[in-house]
């Protein structure tokens, strides 16, 4: 039969079970406690020739896992908030640059660029809508026959005045 005993070290914080040698704490440790403790444990064999052995047991304390998890989750949430805010900011700045570029390309909002309508098979007519309105509109018509071509010519003129000419060839 082997018994265990603590001979030196911080006995105020630890105790040892004499039968199985299990070391346990006797009190809770706070933040002001030391980070390491030393114990010397002696094992005695109570045979005819009594043998004993000693061992130095070093105990290191680490911070509580609950405290680390709560700190880690706060830091992780903060990282996610910063990342999402950065992405939203970049998107906002990109949208502003695109709006500025479109505004430069189209200096007047009510003006439409009709240059895309000018093709061989396309009729382009721009007419002023109303007397004081500066709004320009584009009409593209593809005539199929001479009859439709004459009807289209009549539609392009406004109040009997010809405002657009076209030719094919």
pTM: 0.36
| Tokens (6 digits) for 2 | 């082997």
Amino acid 62: pLDDT: 77
Write the pLDDT tens digit of every residue in 121-141: 333 344 444 444 344 444 444
Confidence of residue 106 (pLDDT cuts 50, 70, 90): low
Residue 65 parent element (H or E): helix 65-105
Amino acid 141: pLDDT: 45
CA distance 164 to 153: 9
Radius of gyration of the chain (CA): 46
Amino acid 92: pLDDT: 94
Amino acid 73: pLDDT: 57
Amino acid 85: pLDDT: 94
Write the pLDDT tens digit of every residue in 40-85: 888 888 778 888 888 888 888 877 655 555 555 567 788 889 999 9
DSSP 116: G
Could you give the strand order of the β-sheet that contains 36-45, starting from the edge strand earlier in sequence?
2-9, 36-45, 51-60
Domains of the chain, first to last? 2-60 (2.60.40.60), 108-169 (no CATH)
**Who has greater pLDDT, 120 or 69?**
69
Nearest to 38 by CA among 73, 65, 9: 9
């Amino acid at each position: 039969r082997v018994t265990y005993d603590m001979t030196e070290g911080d006995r105020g914080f630890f105790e040892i079970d004499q039968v199985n040698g299990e070391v346990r704490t006797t009190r809770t440790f706070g933040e002001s406690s030391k980070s390491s403790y030393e114990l010397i444990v002696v094992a005695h064999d109570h045979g005819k020739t009594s043998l004993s052995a000693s061992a130095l047991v070093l105990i290191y304390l680490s911070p509580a896992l609950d405290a680390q998890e709560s700190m880690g989750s706060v830091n992780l949430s903060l990282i996610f908030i910063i990342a999402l805010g950065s992405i939203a900011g970049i998107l906002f700045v990109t949208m502003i640059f695109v709006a500025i570029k479109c505004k430069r390309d189209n200096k007047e909002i009510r003006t439409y660029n009709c240059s895309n309508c000018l093709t061989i098979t396309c009729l382009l007519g721009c007419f002023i809508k109303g007397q004081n309105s500066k709004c320009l509109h584009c009409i593209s018509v593809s005539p199929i026959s001479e009859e439709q071509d004459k009807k289209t010519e009549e539609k392009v003129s406004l109040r009997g005045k010809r405002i657009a000419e076209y030719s094919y060839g």
